[in-house]
Structure 1
Amino acid sequence: MHRVIGERALDATPFDADDARALLEDMIRARRFDERAVALQRRGWMSGYPPFAGQEATQVGAAHALAADDWLFPTYRSNAMQLARGVPMSDLLAFRRGHPEFTSDHDLPIFPQAVPIATQLPHAVGAGMAADHMENDHAILCDFGDGATSEGDFHEALNFAGVFDAPVVFLCENNGWAISLPRERQTASPTIAEKASAYGFEGAQVDGMDPLAVRGAIEEALDRARDGEPVLVESLTYRRGAHTTSDDPSRYRDDGPDLPAWRTHDPVERFVEYLTDQGVVDEAFVEECETAANDELDDAVETAEGVPEPGSDELFAHVYAEPTPELDRQRASLAGED
């Protein structure tokens, strides 16, 4: 596994120029999306939003590591990962306005994002065990934050994965904070990665501010998972903003966090600087990416605003495979109030 941590990680990671440009393009798309989403929420366009600025390198790098038929199990802050995987911006925006998560007709192997903390981990393991049972050769990538490691679902999922050799890569985005709680208040373990040893498989850390290192680490982990070896990867990243748009991080976090500069540096700026120094990109390329992302966002907002408002019947349509008498009674009662 990739174990290079620190400000020299970029220099230590080999890369193809076209792949590097594709990573940067998706990171810029993600950053513009995050900025626009926060602005939209602030003017009441949607009720709430979880910013991910600072975590683009981890999420985009991981998404680029996935094979076409690998499944992604995201959490609520995985928007950059979903964008890089191919989910339309309009889908993510419409979801935040209360619509079904996928309003477009795509068939991407992506599980609905989990808003309750850590609930997607057992689902991911179940999907991995099912793939193994059906003799499929794809792997599962399950994304979650460091706060999820304090939930029982985390321990149950990793235990099942270890016992049944589920083809799952557990990607923990350790951004330093579980809402207002710092990592050291959650666990006495020096690292989250080492927790994997309790379940009989390997854990590793990666510089989460380096998309090249993340992609390489996740590619290797997915290859191992396909061979029946689950892996826990702890990506050391940083949440630059609030937990959600209803959070005020100034109440619990100082502006100067007690973390090394490589971990708190803007990952988009860092990657631009590095690729510019390597002669891979120039200012014109970055500007083109930003212009394309803004145009894409304009179209996405228009599309999301055009999604029809659901009728009250939608509340009952997908609760059970077959409606129950009580559900029918509730539907009739609500219809009588319309």
Structure 2
Amino acid sequence: MYSLGVPLPPALDGDSAPVHLLPPHKAFNWIHDGSVLVFDVTACGEGSKGPAEVPWRLQEGGLVPYGFATLLPDLPDEAKARVFEALVDDFFGPSEVPDLAIVFETPRPGPKAKASPGQAMAQWILRNKAQPHQVFLVDRDEYAKKYQGLQDAAGTKRLTVPSEIVEDGLYLGPLQTATSSAVLNGLAITHVLSVIDHSVPLPSDARVEHLSLCIEDHPDADLYPVLKKALPWLLAAFAETPGARVLVHCAQGRSRSASVVIAWLMCVKRVLERDEKSGSAALFGAVMGIVKQLRPSIQPNYGFASALENLFHDEGALAPLLMGMEAFLQDPGGRRWQLALG
């Protein structure tokens, strides 16, 4: 069961029907992973039965590429069931219904005792369907505002997008994300770190700092020389560029780039917790779990995993980096890392 949401009031969050509020960036990751059902309960106006009439549509521009349906809570139960089943058949198949669903709504002021349309729809799904087991509510307006740039840049084109590991800060994805103007500009990426075994031609209109480090995705490949260059570069990017947004990529966003992101977050966690007794293996397990919740497809090869489990074996080699990181994390800009790893 996922636990990244903020629980709603107890009356709407019973043990048998968990419903949670979900931050937009976490919804974004799960949606693009293709592992959730997505519904929109936003209507045109009071009493409207039609889909939302807004300047952009959620299913355009890669904002919601999978499993999307408009499902209004005041429809008869039979109509709701037909929409639900059609969505499952079109995108997943009856035997592959995801465990999770996301319901977009635009919150409106109203009596606190009365369930919102999104809450009502979430409860209907949980009462009437064996799956999903959990339903998350997402503020449609916040999501639209945050990712409007992607839709503007891409129009109606489907995009391959990176996972947002630290909100508005650290992104992890495959090669296509680094070579796409729509992605780099739409997400306002400022730095790109390529961890791959060939050159990467960035778009000509991309105004980003770029570091390319050559390594094959093979268990015998030595990860340490890459980390020796990548980790200080990441520290400089975040410490010296206010509002830096860094994309780390390899070919598929699964092994090489994931290993660098995990190593960076292991160092951050080590400094934040000021715990020199915890071994690298324990830190690796904890951080791997955090990143995997946000990008389920990651899987460092066993050679890289072994290197990460022994990352702090030679503490002296990382001492300058950790000292610089400690100063950075004490600044206001370092607070988001505490929230990400909290």
Fold shared by both chains (TM-score > 0.5): no
Q: Which protein is richer in helix relative to its size?
A: 1
Which structure's relative contact order is higher, taking Cα pairs within 8 Å and 6+ residues apart? Answer: 1
Q: Which protein is richer in strand relative to its size?
A: 2
Give me the TM-score of the superposition, normalised by structure 1.
0.29
Give me the TM-score of the superposition, normalised by structure 2.
0.29
